Amino acid sequence: MSVDFYWRIGMHGDQRSLTERAATRGDWEPDGPGRIAPALRGGVPDGHAYIEHMADVARAAEAAGFYGGLMPSFPFTDDPWAAAGLLARETRGFRFMIAFQPGFLNPVHAARMAASLQRATNGRVVYNVITGGGGPAQLWWGDEVAHDDRYARTSEFLHVHKGVWKERPYTFDGRFHRVENGALPDALAAQDLPEIYFSGSSAAAIDAAGRHADHYLSWMEPTAALARKFAAVREHSAALGRTPRFAVRVDVVARRTEKAAWDVVRTGFESADPAALAQWRTGDSVGAARSLSFIDGPVSGYRDLEVEPNVWGGFSLLRGGPAFGLVGSYAQVAERIDELIALGVDAFILAGVPHLEEARRVGAEVLPLVTGARRPVPA
């Protein structure tokens, strides 16, 4: 089994380190000492744009052996479709996993847009289909659709998206979308559909993933919980005549020694507020509620959030994003990744702060120790 490793590319600035939360990379924070990409030269802006820093991260990740990069999408980020088109010119075979919510796109227009990008990049587009976690972030988009209905909308979007790409003429009249005699031009229809990584932990999400996903994508969780979730996905997919593949999104703090890795976490935790863990209760995200449920008892020290060896649930206190990730020596983190591969995971989205330096570190020090067969980076 070949294993694909993706690296997360920060789309909204970057911290100097996991222990310093102010973003000094990118133009999302006010000008200040030490800021780069863009920066001040002689007291005036140097004219650089943040896309140049994202290009540095993409090039570094490709050189470090990553198969591609995740392009996240939030109200506070650049648009990943536009950024992927620009970064493709800065890399050779690097894939771009574009995160998007289907509810905000027309499936026919999205097919033409993605097929054009596939044609221009020789097939380097991958989808991270997200359906939204409810709450203020969902309302920012003006989306008031209820949780399970959002997944029904996502499922119908993907049905139409695939149909108009590969069938001609394509006609569909559904609950959310209607197409009459649709079709892509020959040159676009000849492109491969991007692989679909599908996120979501609820029953509605698992149903939609079973119908459409190439990879069921989960945040990192304790091993037993992941095993139960994957078993449910396998059972549901089998009933639909499909065999799922699995991917995990996981943050990493890896250092030469375990103590050095935990020292990074301890330093960050000392300036964090454990009460902020409760923010996961906002919105209707089942995945966020699951993450919170794995933290048993009061949290008074950083090791209280270590739910099993090297699996730490406090990353959301140190930077935005999922709660659980891996902390340990290079060898320990590689061992935990191998355990996930044994669980059936054949794709990973790894992340670390700062994105540039950690891409190089993880690529050089951790990936070579993973015994699962890594898919080679295309030339």
* pLDDT one-digit tens code per residue, 103-149: 889 999 999 999 999 999 999 999 999 987 666 777 777 777 788 88
Element counts in the chain: helices (H) and strands (E): 13, 18
- Please report, for residues 148, 242, 343, 373, the alpha-carbon distance to residue 235 in angstroms, rounded to integers and kept in the order given: 20, 10, 15, 26
Q: Which of 12-16, 136-140, 157-161 has the lowest mean pLDDT?
A: 136-140
Alpha helices (H) in 122-250, listed in sequence order: 135-140, 147-166, 186-189, 203-212, 223-239
DSSP class of residue 247 equals: E
Q: Which pLDDT score, from 0 to 100, does residue 280 have?
A: 58
Report the residue count for the chain.
379
In a 3-state reduction of DSSP, which class is residue 257? coil
Mean pLDDT of the chain: 89
Q: Is the pLDDT of residue 225 over 70?
A: yes
Q: Is the pLDDT of residue 48 over 90?
A: no
Q: Which of 47-61, 86-100, 179-193, 334-348 has the lowest mean pLDDT?
A: 47-61
Query: Which residues are registered as beta bridge partners of 3?
Result: 374
* Identity at 111, one-letter amino acid code: A
Q: Is the pLDDT of residue 318 over 90?
A: no
Write out the two tokens for 55.
């290009």
Q: Is the pLDDT of residue 281 over 60?
A: no
Q: Give this prediction's pTM.
A: 0.91
Q: Is the pLDDT of residue 25 over 80?
A: no
Q: Is the pLDDT of residue 60 over 90?
A: yes
Cα dihedral across residues 188, 246, 371, 291: positive or negative: positive
Rounded to an integer, what distance in angstroms lies between the CA atom of residue 343 and that of residue 327?
19
